[in-house]
DNA sequence: TATTGTTATACTCTATAACTATA
DNA sequence: TATAGTTATAGAGTATAACAATA
């Protein structure tokens, strides 16, 4: 196994670990990955139509309807009439929704802080620089592949 | 936004990009992430019972039944009688299954090779070292969180 | 009595198509 | 005619519980 393969394997394992940790954090909250993703975008964008949410989440309008139903039922968001377009809703975070997204943001930053604790600043700098290059390469490779390359999965 | 947060965000974005690329590679093959995961483990483990697969995949036995049904229907695997335990099957890769997993392995290594092309060896070394530390930290943090910490999601 | 895998049932995420209300 | 959202329908992944065959 090459060093390059080992790097890629570590990155994939990292993705799995982060996902598992997130799922575990959801237990008992009524939240899931998809619902939390919507909540998170709402936190970033402010009150939005379901159409806009479907756009940023890259899912169908129908799917957003279901996610908003669930989040509304659990008290995280509310559908409010859209001023100026009676077809649409403005999905807004409730107090509970604000609370949970604000807390998620804090925990995200705390995880990031802990992540680099113990890494010297020189090493952290190298990691940042390396990751930037990895991302750049990956975007290029994926673009090539989707343009009709041989695939890389 | 801190540098640490920026690192974590890049890692998360990386996970998304890799996942999207994988999904795109599946189009038209009858494969999905879950089915491919099973196929991949079968490639690594050799012929296995569904129970064993449920164990390594960390899913229910029922779920494995469904995945094997789909993969058998698409011609990637076969259920063979287990010699010595008439309750169980040995799930084995067909020729087509061997072909696709072998190809996946090659593409995985090719992606890894392309990934580090253009990164100097010093930089690659720093990246490897940094990632090893990140993984180490993350495993620790996740272990703490699941042992009753405040969560980090 | 315990284990392997299935059937039964249910929930979530996802999609497309048809439809209503509004623009 | 086009757009926002819902209802209808469907498929995939996931789970638990009850059950059959076998250990």
pLDDT of residue B151: 39
pLDDT digits (tens, 9 = 90+) for B61-119: 999 999 999 999 999 999 999 999 999 999 999 999 999 999 999 988 888 887 776 56
Give the nucleotide nearest to B63 (CA→C1'): D14
Strand partners, B48: B91
**Mean of pLDDT over chain A:** 85
DSSP state of A147: T
DSSP bridge partners of A77 = A93
Q: How far is B127 from chain A (nearest CA, A)?
A: 5
Look up residue A71 and give its two tokens. Answer: 């989040």
Angstrom distance (rounded) from CA B25 to CA B94: 20
Interchain proximity A22–B153, CB inside 8 Å:
yes
- pLDDT (mean) for A98-114: 88
pLDDT at A12 (0 to 100): 79
**Average pLDDT for B123-130:** 70
pLDDT at A150 (0 to 100)? 44
Give the least confident one: A9-18, A27-36, A66-75: A9-18
What is the pLDDT, as a whole number, of residue A24? 79
Output the six-digit token pair for B153: 């999601």
User: CB B15 to CB A15 under 8 A?
Assistant: yes
Residue B23 Cβ under 7 A from any strand C atom: no
Nearest to B21 by CA among B114, B127, B126: B114
What is the rounded CA–CA span in Å between residue B36 and residue A121?
A: 39
CB A42 within 8 A of CB A48: yes
CB A79 under 7 Å to nucleic chain D: yes
What is the rounded CA–CA span in Å between residue B126 and residue B135?
A: 14
User: What pTM was estimated for this model as a whole?
Assistant: 0.86
Determine what percent of chain B is predicted with pLDDT higher than 70: 84
What would the pLDDT profile of B54-63 be if each residue is shown by its tens digit? 999 999 999 9
Residue located via tokens 């090719």: B110
Most B CBs within 10 Å, among A131, A136, A139, A142, to test the B interface: A131
Name the residues in A90-149 having a C-beta closer than 7 Å to nucleic acid strand D.
Answer: none
Q: Strand D: which bases are under 7 Å from protein Cβ? A: 3-9, 12-17, 21-23
> What is the band of A148 on the pLDDT scale with cuts at 50, 70, 90?
low
pLDDT(A118) > 60: no
Distance of CA B112 to the CA centre of its chain: 15
Query: For residues A93 and A76, what is the distance between their CA atoms, to the nearest angstrom?
Result: 6
Quick one: what percent of chain B has pLDDT higher than 90?
Answer: 49
């Amino acid at each position: 196994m090459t060093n390059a393969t080992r790097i890629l394997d570590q990155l994939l394992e990292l993705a799995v670990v982060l996902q598992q940790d997130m799922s575990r954090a959801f237990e008992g909250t009524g939240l899931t990955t998809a619902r939390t993703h919507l909540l998170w975008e709402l936190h970033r964008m402010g009150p939005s139509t379901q159409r806009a949410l479907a756009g940023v989440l890259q899912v169908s309008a129908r799917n957003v309807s279901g996610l908003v139903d669930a989040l509304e039922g659990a008290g995280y968001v509310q559908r409010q009439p859209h001023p100026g377009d009676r077809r649409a809703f403005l999905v807004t975070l409730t107090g509970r929704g604000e609370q949970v997204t604000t807390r998620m943001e804090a925990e995200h930053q705390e995880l990031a802080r802990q992540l680099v604790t113990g890494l010297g600043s020189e090493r952290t700098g190298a990691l940042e620089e390396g990751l930037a290059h990895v991302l750049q390469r990956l975007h290029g490779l994926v673009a090539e592949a989707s343009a009709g390359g041989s695939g890389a999965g």
